[in-house]
Structure 1
């Protein structure tokens, strides 16, 4: 029997659910454009996610960063000589770029003269130039060009959100995604020279009855080529096209696949690597630009969480499924990189159970949900594990949290509610003005199916989630008080008005888009969408975890909600930890889930857990 407190059993056996967290894993290696033998990846091998340097020519691996609360997002200069990484304070996402030599050496400020900020994109040129996007709560978004030995030069500033999205191969053109029009869900693209003067603008938010978004996917990897690969929504989904910033020529790409499409250039610019996402699964295709030939690459059923084409024409990709742990594969047929040895003796993550697809008719159309369940016959105590974002979606990918609940005898349901990506533009854009309430209508429809089908025990239904999922958890407990027996909310929005005033500027812009204005301009919408409005109606016990340094769901608004629970004498527990919007420390992640499971078992009783699979 698996121990719910996570301790080793008397026979020294570690539960499978903890092994899935502790097992060493690696992210997709990203290499220097002009030195493809030099790569960076992230790994949790030390127990904390950090950046590693990998010299493919020698096989040498080196841990490049080492910080108590972890590091992600290292970037290599095109020549592979320098590693850039972002240094914040305990997960608050506010800091500066640092750099160190690829083969090791002291860290140093990468852009002296730039004050700490939130990151807003980074592009590194072949001549040592860096283009740095940044934002602050008071000054909005800005873009700076930093040349070796010179002071940073600001070339762009606006009160609305903007990000650096690419630098041309010769370093003369910069792509900026911006939302100057005020709709943070639908970006426009401006291409500028390094002095900030405009070359071209592509904006699908103008002149139509609906606003459409654009995404810059990268300039052509060829000297003198001014084409930019652009994602657009003109036909009701995300798909790529080519846009020549110098001439204004747009080239549509006829890719006959049903789902959303993302793309990247092959290194010689002759073809595109297309990632096709459809109904919570993804696959890879090669699209040849000369003749439009579309060829499927050998990718197993499941989810590709990133892919890059190598100079030899092969593709490396990070793959997993709900049943099988992640691995970095190559289309040449081999595993690309084995994780470094783990710190606690766990060598691999045990398998979990596969997901089942269900479709439920809802008030806004058919809703797709993924279900995992333990062995035996239902009805089971059931966790509705709600994804964050909200513009995100759950997929057939390996996730240690849901697998842990299954090991403890719970069924797990994950709902891709309206607002989720992957089901067309209309589904994603349905999330406006009645924020939170729309998603909960879809979750409610799936809940009714789960009970009626015999999957879920109606007396032991748990609403749970992190970030936007934590927000929907608290809102659902208050607006659907008879539906849920328990709530587990991690880093949630709890008091929408206070959250708006305290959160980072980019999220203020998103909230203005979702709700149609500020709390002062549309107070009734913020009130209707705030969990704090309904806190007195909550009946189920509530568990909340919160990062003390979280810039996305700040602590003060969570404390406001908790205070109201305390005033009512309502059963609840709060766990506060010293990090930001989640943790990069493996033991901290395990601790948080252990506390959630224990809270659920105290209030709902302990179901019969599944047998370990390791």
Structure 2
């Protein structure tokens, strides 16, 4: 999938860990100056809990609030080491606009690629997060998305590059809008896809970049989907339509007549399309796909006849997904980003032959947001490593040379110490190889001590955990934990069969993978079996609840962020888009018995270890009621649980105050639950 992360991914910025942009505040944060009352207790506070409706969030007090204050200060040090992401190059290549959380809320900033030492200039100064800035064709303004309270009802805005003239271009209907396309051959036109939250259908809209005139819906598809590309005349568009995360079709939409036809794959064939683009002259279509096989493939198709003109398969990373594709208007180069599951690789290809000509010279890590300069001389993306937060890199098309722009220091990281990240593979219960990332403080003496271990499961399910910068990993390791990130079956970047290995009836095999990871962890001399924690967000939150329910003696505590408690209620309350796609990925909503059998709700009485739960009040994907249900159940049975609800968040941790509060509260909760020595 592309950066919009259609399929239920723990989106936005999971603790700003994937290098996109960061955080916002929760009403549950209390002052660190609250005087201590008594020793911290894991026992739930006495309350008369309602049997229906929203469940009350916990408000730390006394010694808990005091400890939170100390930990918030620690977290602020790490979160202050901001991340930069989602770059866009101006038409003349002299500016780059990007998203950054340096001021506590994701906003847009401008940099000069020719002057990497020059400080970035803040462009937007709004009270809501911004997403994906794109230059207008003349380079005089930037088009971007923003929503309210992270509810994903994105509206489109325009602002001048001097910060003036902020204008909302879509003030009418409330829709989940995708980032708009601006074509140099039709500079006054915006083209974008959008959908109503409750509907699975996707619509394609055309409207003026100047605002005023209402947008025109030119095409509606019965399937979920999103636009991947628009040609330079704004007359044709490529629409990816989703049956499931492993089955999509690419449609060519005539934006003038409103007619569409399927161009890939051929009828009766099954494949997934990750990215697509028009060549600068519009005569070639580039399609990044698995071609229905285990092999990531880039195709060059004749735009008129759809005949294949060329094909690229990476010789060394055959099962990697070609997640992103950047094709400039001019020049003879294009770039692709390969998602190898636990890392990214950027290759530059000859646009005519599709032969590789250079690799982007980037450190071992991961990135995204690959875009091309119009002149074909450079590409840009954001990139991070375990010890370096995400920065914008500009890559030269001829040589692959890469440099940060802007180049910015992170003084708050001084003295934090480096992390050592290793990639390992272990066997699961059935012999299936499970890749995982292990993060330890550098120089950790083997066997010198047993450490608490936090196993962190990614969202998705069709996503992966790459080696990268992560606020979460950096904070927990600085407080005594070793962090392990498994890429269990269902993860992307390891081939089609692996991604489909958890579909439908095979869901419980992924749960068994979690057990295998836990058992492997405790077999290591550096792991303390009495202090093993399971954590995850979104689908990872679901896996956390399933692990605690099905392997209750293995795990000693859990942290669940916006996790699914019951697939039956989730299917009734999530967006129409997700509901439609999950009919195959998870199971048909008509099969209530099956959905119940793979839900944590069916085994909730087995969860007996302390659990920290986080929810965003405005979440349109996993509504707050899912978290309410697990909290209500645990409180009823007197199982230690702490509930944090962020009133100005959705399926997100986007505001600085939310991130620091979550990190502090979850860490203090685990210190008490596991009787840890305070760091």
Contact (CA 8 Å) 2:389, 2:469: kept in 1 or not?
A: yes
Partners of 2:522 and 2:66 in 1: CA distance = 26
Contact (CA 8 Å) 1:272, 1:289: kept in 2 or not?
A: yes
Partners of 2:544 and 2:484 in 1: CA distance = 14
Alignment of 1:77-156 (within 5 A): 77-111=136-170, 114-126=172-184, 127=186, 128-139=188-199, 140-147=201-208, 150-156=213-219
| 1:538 is aligned to 2:598 | no
Describe the shift of the 1:532–1:68 C-alpha distance in structure 2 as closer, same or farther (beyond 3 A): farther
Secondary structure of the equivalent of 2:362? coil
Describe the shift of the 1:205–1:574 C-alpha distance in structure 2 as closer, same or farther (beyond 3 A): farther
Q: CA RMSD in A?
A: 2.8
Question: Which residue of 575, 596, 603 corresponds with 2:673?
Answer: 603
Describe the shift of the 1:227–1:568 C-alpha distance in structure 2 as closer, same or farther (beyond 3 A): same
TM-score (norm 2): 0.81
Partners of 2:628 and 2:517 in 1: CA distance = 31
Partners of 1:349 and 1:582 in 2: CA distance = 29
Partners of 2:517 and 2:678 in 1: CA distance = 24
String of CA shifts for 1:293-345, please: whole Å, max 9, x gaps. Answer: 42333222222334444446344443222233333334445432134x99xx8
Partners of 1:253 and 1:369 in 2: CA distance = 31
> By how many angstroms is 1:186 displaced?
2.0
Question: Which residue of 481, 497, 504 corresponds with 1:433?
Answer: 504
Question: Which residue of 422, 425, 437 corresponds with 1:356?
Answer: 422
Contact (CA 8 Å) 1:465, 1:489: kept in 2 or not?
A: yes
- Higher mean alpha-carbon deviation, 580-589 vs 192-201, is at 192-201
Secondary structure of the equivalent of 2:99? strand
1:450 matched residue in structure 2: 521
1:612 matched residue in structure 2: none
> By how many angstroms is 1:456 displaced?
2.2
1:38 matched residue in structure 2: 95
Partners of 1:18 and 1:67 in 2: CA distance = 21
2:339 matched residue in structure 1: 277
Partners of 1:589 and 1:607 in 2: CA distance = 23
> By how many angstroms is 1:170 displaced?
2.1
2:661 matched residue in structure 1: 591
Alignment of 1:14-33 (within 5 A): 15=74, 18-32=76-90
* Structure 1 gaps, min length 5: 610-614
Contact (CA 8 Å) 1:19, 1:348: kept in 2 or not?
A: no
| 1:321 is aligned to 2:385 | yes
1:298 matched residue in structure 2: 361
> By how many angstroms is 1:388 displaced?
1.0
| 1:580 is aligned to 2:650 | yes
> By how many angstroms is 1:69 displaced?
4.3
> By how many angstroms is 1:497 displaced?
1.6
Secondary structure of the equivalent of 2:244? coil
> By how many angstroms is 1:185 displaced?
4.0
1:485 matched residue in structure 2: 556
TM-score (norm 1): 0.89
Describe the shift of the 1:239–1:608 C-alpha distance in structure 2 as closer, same or farther (beyond 3 A): farther
Secondary structure of the equivalent of 1:441? helix
Partners of 1:494 and 1:242 in 2: CA distance = 44
Partners of 1:108 and 1:289 in 2: CA distance = 38
Partners of 2:672 and 2:194 in 1: CA distance = 45
Partners of 2:673 and 2:437 in 1: CA distance = 25
Alignment of 1:181-220 (within 5 A): 182-183=243-244, 185-198=246-259, 200-204=261-265, 206-208=267-269, 211-220=270-279
String of CA shifts for 1:111-155, please: whole Å, max 9, x gaps. Answer: 46x511112452223321111211114443211221466432222
> By how many angstroms is 1:349 displaced?
9.3
String of CA shifts for 1:75-107, please: whole Å, max 9, x gaps. Answer: 222222332222322011114222222222232
Alignment of 1:174-573 (within 5 A): 174-179=237-242, 182-183=243-244, 185-198=246-259, 200-204=261-265, 206-208=267-269, 211-220=270-279, 222-255=280-313, 256-259=315-318, 260=320, 261-262=322-323, 263-278=325-340, 280-294=342-356, 295-310=358-373, 311=375, 313-331=377-395, 332=401, 334-339=403-408, 346=412, 350=416, 352-362=418-428, 363=430, 365-374=432-441, 375-376=444-445, 377-434=448-505, 436-518=507-589, 521-573=590-642
Contact (CA 8 Å) 2:198, 2:575: kept in 1 or not?
A: no
Q: Which has the higher contact order (CA 8 A, sep 6+)?
A: 2
Secondary structure of the equivalent of 1:396? coil
Secondary structure of the equivalent of 2:247? coil
Partners of 2:376 and 2:237 in 1: CA distance = 28
Partners of 1:251 and 1:105 in 2: CA distance = 46
Question: Which residue of 148, 158, 162 corresponds with 2:225?
Answer: 162
Secondary structure of the equivalent of 1:134? strand
Partners of 1:73 and 1:312 in 2: CA distance = 21
Describe the shift of the 1:288–1:418 C-alpha distance in structure 2 as closer, same or farther (beyond 3 A): same
Contact (CA 8 Å) 1:275, 1:282: kept in 2 or not?
A: yes
Q: Number of residues paired by the alignment?
A: 591
Partners of 2:272 and 2:513 in 1: CA distance = 24
Partners of 2:413 and 2:523 in 1: CA distance = 41
2:135 matched residue in structure 1: 76
Partners of 1:103 and 1:201 in 2: CA distance = 42
Contact (CA 8 Å) 1:120, 1:132: kept in 2 or not?
A: yes
Secondary structure of the equivalent of 1:37? coil
Secondary structure of the equivalent of 1:464? strand
* Structure 2 gaps, min length 5: 1-64, 396-400
